[in-house]
Amino acid sequence: MYLFDLGKLPGQQSMLIFHVLARMGVEALVIVSPKNPLVSIGYFQDAGREIDLSFCRENGISFMKREIGGGGTYLDENQVFYQLIWKRSNPRFPVEMSQIFEELSFPACETYRKFGIEASFRQENDIVTRKGKKIAGEGGGDIGDCMVLVGGILLDFDYETMSKVLKVPDEKFRDKVYKSMEENLTTMKRELGDIPPREEVVQTLVREYEKVIGRFESVALDNRIVERMKTLEKKFTSDRFLFKKTRKVPKGIKIKGGVEIRYGIHKAKGGLIKTVEELEQEKIKEIGISGDFQFYPKDDLSTMEVELRKTEFDQGKINNKIEQFYEEHRIQAPGVMPEDFTKAIVQSESEGPE
């Protein structure tokens, strides 16, 4: 198996490389960071729905779609990506998805441990610290005759830019995403107080992968690979590929396994209701409700938000809670019934941001 230790490559090339090697059937470990920032979206995502295209264009941030799974993410030089490519027929590698991620994440977990960060693999395909904070996300897929697993060691992370590159319904939602990422996502810098030297991290990562996979043969990029990257870049940045529609509208933004920010909107007779909710393990952790409807007593809207915390994200349970609240607090909301709030909260998936 080959090792491509590529240092930093221009943004898109840092992600194109594994697509090219997989198409060529080259089994390898690639270690690379993007030289300039880049937004990468998953194969089933539509750039128009996921990315704030104007922000990216105004700030010179390129964007591309990858042929592997997962959600939209912001990449920059403070992330060290490991991209493992192997032939589907290679019996050395697992076939069960959960096994692939768990077994092949182990070297990344060990790398964090060598630097003093206790990290382990957790479904669904995140690497988390002992305190449960996500410190790496992974994605993978079948490309050509190969399988590919990609993950990134977070030396540092630009939370603010990440929250700005995503397409969101309003600033309230963006703020919620930012705060939730700050709370649930960590980095080597945050855990250690400083960023360790990149080269040391890379060497450790390679050593840990060698323990699992065997010795690598170091090689450099050749012209053939570079030329194929150029060709593929055209496809990956084409409107046809980037803006391919999927019928499933995004439900929200996943921060880590079990934590998600959702957006809801519903037009009731008495006005428009907007909600932003943070879900943790399928329960409402926090919710914000706004809109142009009337609600009396006014202060009770925020009390209702508090009452909804810890409620299971289930239409019936949410509706019961709101009905009960209406009754106990003698709520007067012309043209806005409890089920209108429930619809805004629960049916967010069919009425998400366009």
Partner 1 sequence: MEIEGYHFPDDLYYDKEHCWCRVEGNVVVTGTTDFAQKMAGEIVYVQLPLIGKSVTQGKPCAALESGKWVGRIYAVVSGKVVEVNEELEDTPDSINGGPYEQGWIFKIEPSNLEEDLKNLMQGDDLVQFIKSEIIRVAAEKK
- Give the interface with partner 1 as residue ranges (CB under 8 A): 42-44, 67-70, 91, 94-101, 103, 123-125, 137-142, 246-248
List the structure tokens of 258: 């079990």
Strand runs labelled E in 54-133: 62-65, 73-75, 79-87, 119-122, 126-129
Residue type, 177: V
DSSP string, 283-338: EEEEEEEEES---BSTTHHHHHHHHHTT-BS-HHHHHHHHHHHHHHTT-B-TT--H
Q: Do 167 and 51 meet the contact criterion of CB atoms below 8 Å apart?
A: yes
Q: Look up residue 348 and give its DSSP letter.
A: G
Q: Of 67 and 191, which has the nearer Cβ to partner 1?
A: 67
Cβ count near 32 (within 10 Å)? 23
Q: Do 249 and 49 meet the contact criterion of CB atoms below 8 Å apart?
A: yes
The whole-angstrom separation of Cα 11 and Cα 13 is: 6
The whole-angstrom separation of Cα 262 and Cα 252 is: 4
Q: Of 125 and 319, which has the nearer Cβ to partner 1?
A: 125
Q: Of 44 and 296, which has the nearer Cβ to partner 1?
A: 44
Place of tokens 């959960």: 98
Q: Of 47 and 100, which has the nearer Cβ to partner 1?
A: 100
The whole-angstrom separation of Cα 45 and Cα 324 is: 39
Cβ count near 63 (within 10 Å)? 24
Residue type, 97: M
**What's the min distance (Å) between Cβ of 50 and partner 1?**
13
**What's the min distance (Å) between Cβ of 99 and partner 1?**
5
Q: Of 124 and 286, which has the nearer Cβ to partner 1?
A: 124
Q: Do 259 and 265 meet the contact criterion of CB atoms below 8 Å apart?
A: no
**What's the min distance (Å) between Cβ of 101 and partner 1?**
7
**What's the min distance (Å) between Cβ of 107 and partner 1?**
16
Q: Of 42 and 132, which has the nearer Cβ to partner 1?
A: 42
**What's the min distance (Å) between Cβ of 42 and partner 1?**
7
Q: Do 134 and 186 meet the contact criterion of CB atoms below 8 Å apart?
A: yes
Q: Of 115 and 313, which has the nearer Cβ to partner 1?
A: 313
The whole-angstrom separation of Cα 152 and Cα 136 is: 6
**What's the min distance (Å) between Cβ of 52 and partner 1?**
22
Q: Of 258 and 338, which has the nearer Cβ to partner 1?
A: 258
**What's the min distance (Å) between Cβ of 151 and partner 1?**
10
Q: Of 96 and 217, which has the nearer Cβ to partner 1?
A: 96
**What's the min distance (Å) between Cβ of 330 and partner 1?**
40
Place of tokens 């409890």: 338
**What's the min distance (Å) between Cβ of 71 and partner 1?**
8
